[in-house]
Structure 1
Amino acid sequence: MSATSAPQTLSTGAHPDPARADVGLTFVSTWSTGSPERQRATLIAIARAWESRPWPHPGLLSYNVYAGSDGSTVLHFSQWRDEESYQEFFAQAGNGRDARNGDIDAAVPGIERLGLNKTRLYRSWTGGAGERREPGAIVIVQVDFDAPDTGRARAWADGVLAALNSDPAEKGGLLSAHFHISADGSRVVNYAEWESEEAHVDALAAAGAGIGSPTPEWREVREFPGVVHDDAVARYRFAYGFLPR
């Protein structure tokens, strides 16, 4: 794809739709910047690096960036049409990836890349809501298993969905939950949309009620075999979204 034929990059303030039907592959990654000041500088550098260049590939459907409530981390959430599109982009000379990262690293040296999750959306929970509402906070929950097993990862997600659907308690501000399974089946990444960060904090603090209350369904989730790490929870606010113009 030549630079002259490439669409331009559009910056948008709208959250992505995690359940977008034409998405076949989702990447979720995290950077650590070290301080609130460096976090802000990193977000500005990312925006400049993307807005100043054409859209990198038609198979990339959206690219989104979030600021961690810890004042240090930056979350990246990108949606691709399929594996083939991503591989074509990655193999394409002059795709702009190194140039964008070079500009960002020049502006904020020492950013630590903490890891990249290559996932596919498995199932979503929206609580039977009609029109989609814009969230005030995004919560990422990462669950790891003791061995790669896509079937087991799906069963765990099914259990959480069953618990959400059976729990009569108020969900305390949870708008949606989207369960992404890693390519090797060793991890589930839940992209959850909440009304606000405070709503999520309150839900965690509400012992015995709401999300995770001691119902049989939630007990099965907590006692699910093979889970080795289920406490990786991080809150983010949406910063920038990028789309092809």
Structure 2
Amino acid sequence: MTGTSRTTRRTDSHPDLADPRVGAPFFSAWRVGAPLRQRRSVEAVAAAWERRPWPADDLLGYHVYTGHDASTLLHYSQWASEQAYEAFARTRRQERVDEIDTAVPDIERLGLTRYRHYRSRGPADRGGRTPGCIVIVDVEFEGPDSARQHAWVDAVFEALANEPAPHPGGISAHFHLSTDGTRVLNYAEWDSAQSHLDALSAPGDGIGSATALWERVQTWPGLKSTTVSRYDHALGLVPD
């Protein structure tokens, strides 16, 4: 891990999920229990980070999202490598955790999953639009199989390319493969939560229309579960 004397600053800008410098994107979730505790937890994270120098040149950004379930937080960190994260975890993570836990006791940390970015769909500049809602689609398979992860995402892209009625509210989709071979995470940007709800209520099972290509995606051998959650971008932290 490369040391740094740079300061930490907040940003309202959404992260670039397809940034080629990000070699180790990590996602994790906290259950905090109520909207007020969501807000307090976000502010506690901000305070714990802003009072300290940016921990590593190899950390490109750290973003926190509040769940529309009014109970959870999603964390997304953009590391250049897993080794850089491990160095941070050994030397600089615990002091931040302790400060946050003092400010907001009894946070339930649901675990961190390590991913690699695989494929993205949508204009690099988001078509000039600002996401109003982040939709996380978490797909779990029965056991590790890297080839299956890749093939399933490729099938989704084929279904998207042949979608007869794409919803205009969708901005982008960024597919990540877990390093243990068992999960796929799609970080999808929408212009609003209502647009996503409208797309879900359209004919078909999920976002896609009732086509053979989407049925293939939804009945993929070994597909264990699919969870869809909506979030708001609440905090961005980057080096200054």
Whether the TM-score (by the shorter chain) exceeds 0.5 is yes
CA RMSD after TM alignment: 2.0
Deviation, 1:129, is 7.5
Judge conservation of contact 1:139–1:194 (CA < 8 Å) in 2.
Answer: yes
SS in 2 for 1:204: helix
How much has 1:40 moved relative to structure 2?
1.1
CA contact 1:135–1:194 (8 Å) conserved in 2: yes
Partners of 2:210 and 2:99 lie apart in 1 by 49
Within 5 Å, which residues of 2 pair with 1:181-196? Answer: 181-196=177-192
1:143 alignment counterpart: 139
Deviations 1:139-186 (A, max 9, x none): 111001101011101111111111111112132411111110001110
CA distance in 2 between counterparts of 1:124 and 1:149 reads: 21
Q: Distance in 2 between matches of 1:100 and 1:116?
A: 16
Matched, 1:28 2:23: no
Q: Distance in 2 between matches of 1:65 and 1:128?
A: 21
What SS does the corresponding residue of 2:181 show, helix, strand or coil?
A: coil
Task: State whether structure 2 residue 99 is matched by structure 1 residue 103.
Answer: yes
Question: Hey, what's the Cα distance between the residues in 2 that align with 1:187 and 1:145?
Answer: 6
Deviation above 4 Å: which 4+ runs of structure 1? Answer: 127-130
Paired residues of 1:169 and 1:209 also in contact (CA < 8 A)? no
Aligned counterpart, 1:50? 49
Does the 8 A contact of 2:31 with 2:109 survive in 1? yes
1:215 is the counterpart of 2:214: no
Q: What is the CA distance between 1:70 and its match in structure 2?
A: 1.0
3-state SS in 2 of match to 1:14: coil
Residues 30 and 74, structure 1, Cα contact 8 Å, conserved in 2? yes
Give 2:239's aligned residue. 244
Cα drift, residue 35 of structure 1: 0.8
Instruction: Report if aligned partners of 2:164, 2:209 keep a CA contact under 8 Å in 1.
Output: no
Cα offset, 1:90, TM superposition: 3.0
Paired residue type of 2:144: P
Partner of 1:226: 222
Which has the larger displacement, 59-68 or 5-14? 5-14
Secondary structure (helix, strand or coil) at the match of 1:219 reads helix
How far apart are 1:99 and its partner, in Å? 1.1
Unaligned 5+ residue runs, structure 2? Answer: none
Aligned residues of 1:11 and 1:240 also touching (Cα < 8 A): yes
Q: CA deviation at 1:43?
A: 1.0
* Amino acid of the structure 1 residue aligned with 2:55: P
Cα contact 1:143–1:187 (8 A) shared by 2 = yes
TM-score, normalising length: structure 1 = 0.92
- Number of residues paired by the alignment? 240
> Hey, what does 1:171 align to over in structure 2?
167
The CA distance in 1 between the partners of 2:159 and 2:123, in whole Å, is 12
Query: Which range moved further: 65-74 or 168-177?
Result: 168-177
Change (3 A) 1:127 1:170: farther
